[in-house]
Amino acid sequence: MLTVVIPYYQKRSGILARALASINAQESCGMPVHVIVVDDASPVPAQAEVDGLGDLSFSIEVIRQENTGPGGARNAGLDHALPATRYLAFLDSDDEWDSCHLRRAVAALSAGYGFYFSNHYHLGQTVGAFERAGRLDLSLHVELPEVGPGIYAYRGDLLDQIIRGNIIGTSTVVYDFQRLPERRFRVEFANAGEDYLFWMELASSGIQVVFSVHCEVRYGHGVNIYSGSGWGTEQHLLRIHNELKYRKTTARLYPLTTYQKAHLTHCIEDLRVSFARDLLHRLTHRKCLPLSTLWAHLQLDPLSFAKLPVYWVGFVVSRHG
């Protein structure tokens, strides 16, 4: 059996129905598909979306719980996976799969691999994420024509790939659940790279990794912690805090090479500069300061505050130089 876990929290109806329709349109993957939708106290209930569907090619259950965030919702889905589950796939409720996704994933995993991911389209894009990021050199990996065209065995250090330039999209992942049934998302790092940390755990488990260059997922527009959190928005400071938390957690959890340490140090320093710029912008424009975020950030990274005068002097000089 292949189980699909969908964390669900949406404010508009019809979004989940499109995701489920893309599952219903899947080519046969050679095993039954069971879908678990975890309604994470969504304003638009999942059950209403499911009840409006017609005949389905898969079985489905809806679990409703108090809000725990996407990682907590995915963990609930993992906890409810049926004993017969061999492979487990993730699909966010606002994303859609290409009809070949599960067939390709099962073919690759059945060849002895334990972790599958694919190329994908980000919201509004017509060029794949692999090509846009430019972080994947196919000449370093091994194509598997016996599995299918465009399917490659990943060669090299996937942990390093995630740390220095992640290319894994959550809705593209399918993995061997029977081999790693106890793995869970670290909910204490909600919105701070909890999905990246999960991929790192899978990559560190010793399982072999395989990927597809085909764009098998199209990301949609729904509720997202980073949606509308660009420069100048109220959520921008929280985004900086979360990313710095993820970077420091990575440095703490894993033995790193000299290059990885240097990369993380550079990322953290850049985030400190962004933190200072955000605060300066808020103060000069008399915007409200998010005190709870500032307090959490002080506990996470006191150096962000210790270096504020240096950063601010630099900004003033650069603007008037």
Is the separation of the CB atoms in 282 and 308 below 8 Å?
no
Residues 6+ apart with CB under 8 A from 320: none
pLDDT value, residue 27 = 97
Read off the pLDDT of residues 109-129 as tens digits, 9 standing for 90 and up.
Answer: 999 999 999 999 999 999 999
Classify residue 150 as left (phi > 0), alpha (psi -120 to 50) or beta.
left
Q: How confident is the model at residue 229 (pLDDT cuts 50, 70, 90)?
A: very low
For strand 174-176 and strand 87-90, is the pairing parallel, antiparallel, or unpaired? antiparallel
Give the list of residues 6+ apart from residue 225 with CB closer than 8 angstroms, or none: 191, 235, 239, 242
Residue with tokens 């000299």: 258
| pLDDT confidence band for 53 (50 / 70 / 90) | confident
DSSP state for residue 128 in the 8-state scheme: -
User: pTM for the complete prediction?
Assistant: 0.90
Phi, psi of 280 (to 5 degrees): -60, -40
3-state helix, strand, coil in the chain (%, to 5): 45, 15, 40
Query: Is residue 51 predicted with pLDDT exceeding 70?
Result: yes
DSSP 56-96: -SSEEEEEEE---HHHHHHHHHHHT--TT--EEEE--TT-E
Question: Which pLDDT score is estimated for 226?
Answer: 44
The DSSP-derived string for 251-287 is HHHS---HHHHHHHHHHHHHHHHHHHHHHHHHHHTTP
Taking the C-alpha atoms of 105, 106, 109 and 115 in order, what is their torsion angle to the nearest 10 degrees? Answer: 40
Q: How far is CA 22 from CA 56, 94, 108, 287, in A?
A: 11, 11, 20, 43
Q: State the average pLDDT over residues 127-152.
A: 97
Rounded Cα gap, residues 198 and 71, in angstroms: 10
40: pLDDT confidence band, cut at 50, 70 and 90?
A: very high
The residue-averaged pLDDT of 160-170 equals 94
pLDDT confidence tier of residue 232, bands split at 50, 70 and 90 = low
Please give the share of the chain, as a percent, with pLDDT higher than 90: 80
Q: Are 37 and 63 in contact (CB under 8 A)?
A: yes
User: pLDDT tier at 225 (50, 70, 90 boundaries)?
Assistant: very low
- Backbone φ, ψ for residue 136 (5° rounding): -125, 110
Mean pLDDT of the region 41-52: 92
Across 166-193, average pLDDT:
91
Q: How far apart are CA 66 and CA 186, in angstroms?
A: 17
**Could you give the CA distance from residue 22 to residue 130 in angstroms, rounded to a whole number?**
22
Give the pLDDT band of residue 320 (cuts 50, 70, 90).
Answer: low
H helices within 174-257, ranges in order? 194-203, 236-253
Q: What pLDDT does residue 233 have?
A: 66
Pick from 199, 113, 205: nearest CA to 151? 113
pLDDT, position 321: 55
Neighbouring C-beta atoms of residue 226, cutoff 10 Å? 13
Q: Is 319 a residue whose pLDDT tops 80? A: no
Distances (CA, A) of 86 to 113, 164, 292, 312: 13, 31, 43, 54
Mean of per-residue pLDDT scores for the chain: 92
Higher pLDDT, 165 or 310: 165
**Average of pLDDT values for 264-290?**
91
